Structure 1
Amino acid sequence: MRIFNLIWAGQAASLIGSAMTAFGVGIWVFQQTGSATAFATLILAASLPGLLTLPVAGALVDRWERRQVLILSDGGSVVVPVTIVVLHQVDALALWHVYVLAAVLSVFRAFQWPAFSALVAQIVPKEQLGQANGRLAVAEAAGQLLGALFGGMLYGLAGLTGLLTVDIVTFAVAVATVLISLRMLPAVSRQDGPAAAERGRLLRELPEGWRFIRQRPGLFGLLLFFAGNNLVMEMAIVLVSPLVLSIAGPAELGVVNAVGWTGMVLVGGLISLTREPRDRIRAITLVACVHAVLVLAMGMQHTVWTVGAAMAGILGGYAVTNAATATIWQLKTPSELQGRVFAVRRMMAWSAEPVAYGLAGPVVALVGAPLSAEGGALHGVTGGGAGADIAAVFLLLGPALLAVVAATLLRPSVRHLERVLPDAPSPVKVPAA
């Protein structure tokens, strides 16, 4: 685990720096324009190019040494804050620069997740995969929590340039840790073995991740479960901010976000120190049921403290789900296909967010508002008043998530996935350093 811990520390620092940059650049865009549309365009520019790049990124991850891909991702990403700092210092930074650079950053970051996820199975012993994936959850949550906290502090003290300078340093740390790991552990060639011998054109390799999943009913069913689960939960999470702002203010929203990400840090840390569940599918579906109950609780009692406690439970549950799911896919997917298969998984996860953003507003207006209005079917439960329309949508999303769980558990191929589908051959491990 020494190599993993070293690379993990560097990538965690990079995640914190990236979250700080996202926070600071978002503030700059809103201050310059005062436009919610400009801010939404920034989010689109920072997500859509990476989503479209994932199939190619996954195929290249399977061709190249995974740590070299991480160097490419971090080294390419650092160009963005450096460019913004230079343009900002000479007073030439324009909105279109930010959009283009956000798209460039999105493309380079698309390589990071499939590369690191595939690398974990290569450098971590099989029996410790759960703990390693728990630490990944800690890094993700800490990035969001500390990125917003430090970003807010530094933006006020040092402005956009000072904040981005810290991000540049975190990228340098990430690249340095990977370079040190290459000295401790020589690069593993991706050109050896039967899979490499059968390699053809890059375009021909792109659909192989999807084909691998589609030919295994258990993995395909698990992917469908997360498609439904992510859509429902992303819609609920998207609506948390307007719910809190409708009943309180920005300070309370900051507390809710901090409490939520703290829950994920604590649960992820616990997973990294203990044994993971033996029945991972049962753990995943149980967490989904708990999530449904917590979403219902936010709908029935939409106070700041209820929402904060629910978000701690929801994000803490994600730490369990992410660790268990990652371990399943790492165990069941051959090493030479992991980049492409993990890219498909990431596309499914990333796709849910823009769909949820698009559906949330119309669902609240067309469904939640009539149901929560006086005389509506849910008026007695939501109580009317501020946030009642969003609370009504939560009362629908909870049962919808339970329906997704029920539909999944009706598929024996998913229920018995870990027992029926054999583990893939273990990747070649490099001698311990």
Structure 2
Amino acid sequence: MRVFNLIWAGQGVSLIGSAMTTFGIGVWVFLDTGSPTYFATLILAASLPALLVLPVAGALVDRWDRRRVMLLSDTGAALAPAGVVLLHTTGTLQLWHIYVLVGLGAIFKAFQWPAFSALVPQLVAKDDLGKANGRVSLIEAAGQVFGALLGGGLYALVGLRGLLVIDLLTLAAALGTLLYSFRWLPTEPRHPSTDPTPVSHRDELLEGWRFIRRRPGLLGLLLFFAANNLVMEMAIVLVPPLVLSTHTPADLGIVNAIGWTGMTIVSLLISTTRGPQRLIRAILTVATCHAVLVLAMGLEQSVWMLAAGMFGILGGYAVTNAATSTLWQLKTPQDKQGRVFAIRRMVAWSAEPLAYGLAGPVAQLFGTPIAQNLGLGQGGGIAVVFLLAGPALLLVITATYLRPRVRHVERELPDAVALPVPQT
């Protein structure tokens, strides 16, 4: 795993820099405008372009040299901080500049994830996939923890421009490790496609979805995550207002720090072992624990209960991320992984903006009247959403478990074997 570890370390450093930039730009936008709407628009600009371009990115990842795709992605990701530094230095930075540059950076990052995910099974042995994916979850969690801590501590000292310069240095470190490893990285999939039939660009874009649709077990798993993510994100996005409705901003910092620490610790444990071996069982068990924790957070809103809940939820995500990545890497042929992984990520990401849009209105228009009838105090409307989300998650888990194709997908679907394409 030497080559993987080298690239992994470079990407980890870059993730910390990116998290610092995300923190700094968010603070700058809110302090400059004082508007939550502008802040929410910034989040949308950082996510929607990537969501829309993912199918194209996946198809191109399978067609192009994945080493060069990662180089292109890391280089393009530097455009956003470099552009903001230039405009900020010249005193011409405006809000719309940030939206455009952040959206452009998100497009380049949409290429990075499927390319890196497809490279992992080419760099490590099958038995080490769980360990490798655990390390990927580790740098994602550590990036959030250290990015937020360093961003919050350094913003007052070096300002937005200083954070952006640090981000550019971390991107240079990621590019350096990638260039150093270039000669050891495979130029083509380990199992290239043997189908000589030419494929149109349109069919190539749709191939990821067709691959999943022809495998009921994987399709059922994808639908499970779509429903599970929708309900979970509706609850998680309301954690800050739930904390702030009865506690202080300092308490919110404690809840966030403990939550991301949970993900970091669990990811570290997985990264030093082979990870979960019964993948579907691990995924459904974690989802059940999430449902129980969401219910507990709705019943009891003390700081330590909320912190313990986020510790368990984010720690559980570390297990789910590692198990899910390993499963899809094992069941998807190398030459199709870019397209399939892009569709998988697009479905997962698509639940987030929908959940963000529904959570507030559901809490205010539906949860608040129920809370008033039950005599719940401040923040009761948000607590009702948590109390409804728990049973909803259990229903999703039960419906998934009752589908044998999903429950037995690990043994029923061969590892990395492409099924014949039906003739139409």
Name the CA shift for 1:124/1:193 in 2 (closer, same or farther; >3 Å). closer
Q: CA deviation at 1:200?
A: 3.2
| 2:363 is equivalent to residue 410 of structure 1 | no
Q: Is residue 400 from structure 1 mapped to residue 419 from structure 2 by the alignment?
A: no
Please say if residues 190 and 196 of structure 1, whose CA atoms lie closer than 8 Å, have aligned partners that are also in contact: no
SS of equivalent residue, structure 1 residue 423: coil
1:230 maps to 229
* Correspondence 1:160-239 to 2 at 5 A: 160-183=160-183, 185-189=184-188, 193-195=192-194, 197-239=196-238
1:245: which partner in 2? Answer: 244
Change (3 A) 1:415 1:194: closer
Q: Residues 63 and 190 of structure 1 are in contact (CA less than 8 Å); yes or no, is this contact kept in structure 2?
A: no
1:320-335 equivalences in 2 (<5 Å): 320-335=319-334
One-letter amino acid of the counterpart of residue 280, structure 2: I
What does residue 431 of structure 1 align with?
none
Provide the C-alpha distance between the structure 2 equivalents of 1:200 and 1:336, rounded to a whole number of angstroms: 13
CA distance in 2, matches of 1:345, 1:408: 17
Structure 2 residue runs of 5 or longer lacking an equivalent are 419-424
Are 1:15 and 1:140, in contact at CA under 8 Å, matched by a contact in 2?
yes
Question: How many angstroms does 1:275 deviate by?
Answer: 2.7
Secondary structure of residue in 2 paired with 1:206: helix
Query: Does 2:257 correspond to 1:258?
Result: yes
1:389 aligns with 2:388: no
Structure 2 equivalent of residue 65 of structure 1: 65
- Range moving further from structure 2, 67-76 or 283-292: 67-76
Q: How far apart are the structure 2 equivalents of 1:316 and 1:396? A: 22
Deviation at 1:76, TM superposition (A): 0.6
Instruction: Report the secondary structure of 1:200's partner residue.
Output: coil
CA drift at 1:64: 1.6
Deviations, residues 97-134 of structure 1 (Å, cap 9, x unaligned): 00100110110010111111111011110000000000
Q: Could you tell me which amino acid in structure 1 is paired with residue 334 of structure 2?
A: S
Query: Aligned runs of 1:43-192 on 2, under 5 Å?
Result: 43-183=43-183, 185-189=184-188
Give me the whole-angstrom Cα distance separating, in 1, the residues matched to 2:191 and 2:288: 44
- CA distance in structure 1 between the aligned counterparts of 2:388 and 2:75, rounded to whole angstroms: 45
CA distance, structure 2, for counterparts of residue 231 and residue 354 of structure 1: 9
Paired residues of 2:122 and 2:186 also in contact (CA < 8 A): no
Structure 2 SS opposite 1:207: helix
Amino acid at match of 1:135: R
User: What is the CA distance between 1:393 and its match in structure 2?
Assistant: 1.1
Letter matched to residue 343 of structure 1: A
The separation in 2 between residues aligned to 1:392 and 1:303, in whole angstroms, is: 15
Alpha-carbon distance in structure 2 between the residues aligned to 1:194 and 1:343: 18
Tell me by how many angstroms 1:425 deviates: 4.8
Report the counterpart of residue 278 of structure 1 in structure 2.
277
Quote the Cα distance in structure 2 between the aligned partners of 1:209 and 1:215: 10
Whole-Å separation in 1 of the counterparts to 2:45 and 2:242: 26
Q: Is the 8 A contact 2:263 2:318 kept in 1?
A: yes
The 1-side partners of 2:82 and 2:297 are apart by 42
Give the SS at the match of 2:181: helix
User: 1:131–1:272: 8 Å Cα contact kept in structure 2?
Assistant: yes
User: Compared with structure 1, are the counterparts of its residues 217 and 44 closer, same or farther at alpha carbon in structure 2 (3 Å cutoff)?
Assistant: same
Alpha carbons of 1:268 and 1:214: their partners in 2 closer, same or farther (altered >3 Å)?
same
SS at the partner of 2:416?
Answer: coil
Identity score, percent: 64
Task: Quote the Cα distance in structure 2 between the aligned partners of 1:127 and 1:346.
Answer: 24
Moved over 6 A (4+): none
Q: 2:413, 2:363 → 1: CA distance?
A: 41
Which ranges of structure 1 fall in alignment gaps of 5 or more residues?
Answer: 427-433
CA apart distance, 1:277:
2.2
* 2:230 alignment partner AA: L
| Residues matched between the structures, number | 418
Which structure 2 residues correspond to residues 301-340 of structure 1 after superposition, within 5 A? Answer: 301-340=300-339
Q: CA deviation at 1:204?
A: 2.4
Q: Which amino acid aligns with 1:160?
A: L
Contact 2:80 2:102 in 1 (8 A): yes
Q: Aligned residue for 2:421?
A: none
Please tell me whether the aligned partners of residues 65 and 187 of structure 2 are also in contact (alpha carbons under 8 angstroms): yes
Q: Structure 1 length as normaliser, TM-score? A: 0.94
* Deviations 1:320-346 (CA, angstroms, capped at 9, x unpaired): 001001000000000000000000111
The root-mean-square deviation of aligned C-alpha atoms, in Å, is 1.5
Q: Give, as a single letter, the amino acid of the residue that structure 2 aligns with 1:181.
A: S
Structure 2: which amino acid aligns with 1:175? L
**Contact 1:65–1:190, Cα closer than 8 Å, also in 2:** no
**Residue matched to 1:430:** none
Code of the residue aligned with 2:405 in structure 1: it is S
Q: Distance in 1 between matches of 2:25 and 2:314?
A: 25
